[in-house]
Structure 1
């Protein structure tokens, strides 16, 4: 009875992202029932979500010794994704698909790996489509399908996927900023600035501590002659990510355009220093 209640608490901690709490509960679960995979799985997930990838792998492997479940294979695949271990990733994602072929998550994670680690856009898009065939409301898969299509220059379908992802997020009332940011960037690249502005503002409302959100808001605001918002957003982007040298360069241009030569000179100096430290940074 005590162990069942503990598992419920672990499930709740996972749903709410309370990773330290999950670590504590996982440790207690191992003490109560060391032969169960649940405690090791919980501990592994708590480490994975906080950047302790090697520790996560160790605990997921211990969990697998105690029970073969699709979730553990999927989490191990995620860890190997982070560690750039392509061979082990492929093995674990295949196992996750085999154990539960109706689950969209292994296909989504496989698509992310192909998109981000290997830049295999056609293959990534197919994985995202497979995820959506299993769950048409998987808004993350829709967003990344849109990004894959955009990079393949399939603009019409990319825009449709971004819009569908946004509709799903709004309907579900969840917070996931990426499709708003992606569609804002898509419109900005096509000089559809007025359409981009409310999207990037929504992305910033959802997650203001993402430098790319602040940078896009600053760039769009500057194009709309909204200097105050542009300067504030660019400064925020730089404070969040010192390597964001494109934000420094645009801020220097704004100061120069406004006739503030001292501020422009200082920001260009900061730009050169950052470029020396971080290379091309976000410009690449």
Structure 2
């Protein structure tokens, strides 16, 4: 027996030795055999089978990383994002951080609203492999969801450069260029796409985007192309008709409205726009019928009453105008649309402020004053002027009305009338800062610098320590127009404006001009750079900035800035004669 056992031991020992010296790949073969089966199950949609295999692999240190990776993907498929993130973190800790893992991990974080962490993860992945165009586009979208246009912009530009040209990229890139002040390049992109595409949906989106940016003439081409492919479309037709209306192409607007398939009971917006177009064409009876129809169809909406009120005001029926406007005020909500625009006035000739103070209904006067300011903000001066006069008819001590009329008449080059309203307002309200500021503007435009400085200072004094940056800046411009000794005072005024509002572009611009004049090129460059950064539409800042760079020996940069100035000026020049709306399809929007 002893010999037999010895032989048995000698036979067994080589087998044990062989096992001890097998290469590692052979040892791992059995432990890794789960992964292909689990992945196949996952791809086939057999999530429970894949999950069971992966959970079994968690017990082996050699496969725990791969198991967490697959479990994370399974959890993501089951919409368990929190669980997925936990598994992806564990997989990463075990060295399993592939592009596939990073993309899924980022998706889970985005599902949880954890944009910052997701963006960091995608940025890290792109730093290792910048060719991931789809990931770059997703990263840009994540930044846009947070309102971070500056961060999204370079990624969208790079995705576009690398050939990603679907509609989502094009529209997001254009929106982002607008947001970062590259409005000329945004418009060029949209124009190029409009020329090439035949998709009516994309053309409509392009037209809407240009409309929203107040580029009404530029919106016409894509909207016309979309209209040709979808004739009668209410959505496309309304944007096209309104674009024509806002640049005073009333005949074209009427033709589009006539072709819109508005149905037997046209919507409220359609009736108001058609009535407004008829009025501008001088077809007063038809205009009145459409605006009255709007009220009958939507008696609980303020839109019809307010637009009809402006119609009556233009027709000289103040009593019915106030009746409609005040009815509208009772049902006014956010988003109320005021499209009707009265005929432009050339001057304020014939206007004079009331001398007696016998009407003092302050509540009604305040309502009309607020409505007039909203109209004035959208550059509907004639409508605003008429409503300010209504304010004075019910409260002839209304300070806002005197200030508003004075400012509008100054803009209409009627300085005598402007001065009469402003001075009458100050007789009633000697401590009203808006009246002093408006009178300062008037005196400065007339070259009466000392008087303008006096009123600017009074306006500031009455509001300190919260005087607006605009008032300080305007004081500085008047000081610069005065004696040479006031240059230091002007610089101080501009700096006070920036203390009040560090992002006030006009103050940066005025400082840049002052430093440029002194040949202090470095500080001038910094100020001009801030001006165009804070207000990309401050066109004269690009011009002065470009001249300064050329004078300072930076010719290439200077020429680029002057080229930007010319492109932006050409882009916005065509809008100067039209109405300026602050939001799409509604002007103004009331709180």
Which residue in 2 is equivalent to 1:281?
none
CA deviation after TM superposition for structure 1 residue 65, in Å: 1.2
Which residue in 2 is equivalent to 1:93?
422
Q: Distance in 1 between matches of 2:554 and 2:415?
A: 46
Unaligned runs of at least 5 residues, structure 2: 1-301, 307-323, 331-360, 571-591
Q: 1:227 to 1:105 in 2, by over 3 A?
A: same
The structure showing larger relative contact order (alpha-carbon pairs under 8 Å, at least 6 residues apart) is 2
Moved more, 203-212 or 215-224: 215-224
Q: 1:221 to 1:40 in 2, by over 3 A?
A: same
Which one of 412, 427, 430 corresponds to residue 83 of structure 1? Answer: 412
Within 5 Å, give how 1:1-284 maps onto structure 2: 24=303, 27=306, 30-32=326-328, 36-68=364-396, 69-116=398-445, 118-136=446-464, 137-138=466-467, 139-152=469-482, 153=484, 154-170=486-502, 175-241=503-569
| Contact 2:531-2:538 at 8 Å conserved across structures | no
Q: Distance in 1 between matches of 2:532 and 2:456?
A: 26
CA deviation after TM superposition for structure 1 residue 38, in Å: 4.5
SS of the residue corresponding to residue 379 of structure 2 reads coil
RMSD: 2.5
Q: Distance in 2 between matches of 1:82 and 1:98?
A: 22
Runs of 4+ in 1 over 4 A off after TM superposition: 23-26, 32-35
CA deviation after TM superposition for structure 1 residue 197, in Å: 1.0
CA deviation after TM superposition for structure 1 residue 128, in Å: 1.0
Larger radius of gyration: 2
| Contact 2:497-2:504 at 8 Å conserved across structures | no
| Contact 1:26-1:38 at 8 Å conserved across structures | no
| Contact 1:26-1:40 at 8 Å conserved across structures | no
CA deviation after TM superposition for structure 1 residue 164, in Å: 1.4
Pairs aligned (count): 215
CA deviation after TM superposition for structure 1 residue 184, in Å: 0.5
Unaligned runs of at least 5 residues, structure 1: 1-22, 243-284
CA deviation after TM superposition for structure 1 residue 109, in Å: 1.0
Q: Distance in 2 between matches of 1:112 and 1:201?
A: 27
Deviations 1:105-147 (A, max 9, x none): 111111111112x011111111111112212342222212211
Which residue in 1 is equivalent to 2:587?
none
Q: Could you tell me the TM-score, scaled by structure 1's length?
A: 0.68
Deviations 1:69-95 (A, max 9, x none): 111111111111111222221222123
Q: Distance in 2 between matches of 1:159 and 1:51?
A: 31
| Contact 1:48-1:56 at 8 Å conserved across structures | yes
| Contact 1:26-1:43 at 8 Å conserved across structures | no
SS of the residue corresponding to residue 501 of structure 2 reads helix
Structure richer in helix, relative to its length: 1
Moved more, 37-46 or 125-134: 37-46
Q: Distance in 1 between matches of 2:518 and 2:552?
A: 15
